Structure 1
């Protein structure tokens, strides 16, 4: 996985965590769920990159 992709995925994950925390704090279920979705998307991208890296070896 390239460093750029890794950084983008980490930023997306952190943004999702922030959204989830804000949603919890304000009682906004939509924001909280959006944050969870961002985290899941980041995890899937990270897993996909790891699979690509495994095939490159």
Structure 2
């Protein structure tokens, strides 16, 4: 697991929290912020996954 995977997962988690708070408080802006954070986190995690796959491919 590399830093991009960890940071991406953390960002997704923060996004889920913001989305839930936005829904609970009926705040569409915070809900949208949470959605965006989740997408950014997923993208960062995907980059980390690609880096890991490339690293593993080099070992073979």
- Give the TM-score of the pair, scaled to structure 2: 0.78
Give the drift of 1:40: 0.6
Q: Gapped runs of 5+ residues in structure 2?
A: none
**1:34 and 2:33 matched:** yes
Partner of 2:19: 20
How many residues are treated as equivalent by the alignment? 56
Larger radius of gyration: 2
Aligned-residue Cα RMSD (Å) equals 1.4
4+ residue stretches of structure 1 with deviation over 3 A?
A: none
- Give the TM-score of the pair, scaled to structure 1: 0.81
Give the number of the structure with larger relative contact order, counting CA–CA contacts within 8 Å between residues 6 or more apart.
Answer: 2
